[in-house]
Chain A
């Protein structure tokens, strides 16, 4: 009796192990053959997105790999460290692509990709991800409206910080009636990203302006608070 129980248990265990091994081996194989295409299409998608906000003629470096690590910052809204892509042209600073997160949207975080030229003007802004109401707040997404293009060529010198608000709050930015919270959050996030750039631009470009590629970053990034 006891022997049959042991035999049965063993059979069960062996069956489970065999199925697990076969499944794992199959997955490892598929992972290996899809890894390269997945990486390639992710890279392609990223570059296509960059192209929308920073024309390819504006830089001549490897935008995807020339990155600077950024610690969590209140101005960018990132809670874990993120990266900025640095664009250079003939070894001169050309611009930077920052990721910023607005936490005060209507529903959930709004993730933005912001391209700033080295002179502090905006080259373009795009919404990466958002959960705003479809048909109401989602016009911040280029797929649903041209609103986000209002930021093209804006800068802190062109528009003083106190006008970086939606028109309803006395600023200069248009919005659609019925959805004010969403654009308000986006305008605020872009303003903060511009402020971040102003405070940190020397640090951002430091590594890439040097002739020597091995130059190291200064140990401490500037503080967020102006």
Chain B
């Protein structure tokens, strides 16, 4: 049982990472990641939606007829997204202004429906919830990393806008990594998102290939089939 949870976690965070392996949900990945805070915030919101939607679909899965499963799933996801949207609007109003239309758009993020359909509709509640949470966390990490890279290269700061989430007191945590930086506009503009994501995918593949090579060198008698 624990090995199953471990596998779900590894799948979500690394092996099947939705941001850099499955490449699902590219719209928010590319559009929102102009800063680390923006990327992480939307990533966390998505992870919450995914955990909640997987957890609420799994217990009712046997009562949903196959013909209408997609409308029912979308209904559940849309309800949860709207709840999160309204909660952020009520309790982190400035952040809501920044993330704007991207929160409602979580509904159409393919990764959410994909996990409900391929995992929660076939598995027990607790593993489903963990799967949603881990897949979402994997995406949130990629969004935060990509946002951090773009912010650092584009503006020379990290975590700017933290006060939008935690109030004006958090302004002191904004790091000016490169003082008197004039900015590199390309990183903030949409092409920067594509270049950044491309680099992340490349780095992830490079690590994966190196690990595979290491493993086959360590155990030369075992033939390892390439997984890609």
Decide: A134 and B185 in contact? CB cutoff 8 A.
yes
Per-residue interface assignment for chain A, residues 83 to 98, with 1 indicating a CB less than 8 Å from any chain B CB and 0 otherwise: 0000000000000000
Question: Is A81 at the interface (CB under 8 A from chain B)?
Answer: no
Decide: B75 and A23 in contact? CB cutoff 8 A.
yes
Interface positions, chain A 11-58, Cβ under 8 Å from B, are 11-12, 15-16, 19-20, 23, 26-27, 30-31, 34, 37-38, 41-42, 44-45
The distance in angstroms between the C-alpha atoms of A48 and B183, with both chains bound, is 29
Per-residue interface assignment for chain B, residues 169 to 187, with 1 indicating a CB less than 8 Å from any chain A CB and 0 otherwise: 0000000000000010100
Q: Which residue of A lies closest to B93 (CB)?
A: A41
The distance in angstroms between the C-alpha atoms of A19 and B67, with both chains bound, is 15
Question: Is B22 at the interface (CB under 8 A from chain A)?
Answer: no
Q: Which residue of A lies closest to B155 (CB)?
A: A135
B93 to chain A: which residues have CB within 8 Å?
A: 38, 41-42, 44-45
- Decide yes or no: A15 and B188 within 8 Å by CB, A23-B76, A26-B83, A30-B86 being known contacts: no
Question: Is B59 at the interface (CB under 8 A from chain A)?
Answer: no
Q: How far is the CB of A13 from chain B (nearest CB, A)?
A: 9
The distance in angstroms between the C-alpha atoms of A202 and B68, with both chains bound, is 62
Decide: A135 and B183 in contact? CB cutoff 8 A.
yes
The distance in angstroms between the C-alpha atoms of A42 and B89, with both chains bound, is 9
Q: Which residue of B lies closest to A29 (CB)?
A: B83
Per-residue interface assignment for chain A, residues 121 to 138, with 1 indicating a CB less than 8 Å from any chain B CB and 0 otherwise: 000000000000011100
Other-chain residue from B65, B79, B86, B188 in contact with A34 (beta carbon distance below 8 A) = B86
The distance in angstroms between the C-alpha atoms of A53 and B80, with both chains bound, is 39
Question: Is B109 at the interface (CB under 8 A from chain A)?
Answer: no
Q: Which residue of B lies closest to A41 (CB)?
A: B93
Q: Which residue of A lies closest to B64 (CB)?
A: A15
B185 to chain A: which residues have CB within 8 Å?
A: 134-136
Question: Is A168 at the interface (CB under 8 A from chain B)?
Answer: no
A15 to chain B: which residues have CB within 8 Å?
A: 63-65, 68, 72
- Decide yes or no: A19 and B83 within 8 Å by CB, A41-B93, A45-B93 being known contacts: no
Question: Is A8 at the interface (CB under 8 A from chain B)?
Answer: yes
Question: Is B16 at the interface (CB under 8 A from chain A)?
Answer: no
The distance in angstroms between the C-alpha atoms of A156 and B147, with both chains bound, is 45
A12 to chain B: which residues have CB within 8 Å?
A: 65, 67-68
Question: Is B87 at the interface (CB under 8 A from chain A)?
Answer: yes
- Decide yes or no: A135 and B188 within 8 Å by CB, A16-B71, A37-B91 being known contacts: yes
The distance in angstroms between the C-alpha atoms of A27 and B71, with both chains bound, is 17
Q: Which residue of A lies closest to B60 (CB)?
A: A19
Q: How far is the CB of A43 from chain B (nearest CB, A)?
A: 10
Q: Which residue of B lies closest to A18 (CB)?
A: B63
Decide: B86 and A16 in contact? CB cutoff 8 A.
no
Per-residue interface assignment for chain A, residues 154 to 187, with 1 indicating a CB less than 8 Å from any chain B CB and 0 otherwise: 0000000000000000000000000000000000
Other-chain residue from B75, B89, B90 in contact with A20 (beta carbon distance below 8 A) = B75
Per CB-CB distance, the 7 closest pairs between chain A and chain B, nearest first, are A41-B93, A37-B90, A34-B90, A23-B79, A135-B185, A34-B86, A38-B90
Sample of 6 more A-B contacts, CB < 8 Å, known A12-B65, A34-B87: A34-B89, A37-B90, A37-B91, A38-B86, A42-B93, A45-B97
**What are 8 of the A-B contact pairs (CB < 8 Å)?**
A12-B65, A12-B68, A16-B71, A19-B75, A20-B75, A23-B75, A26-B83, A42-B93
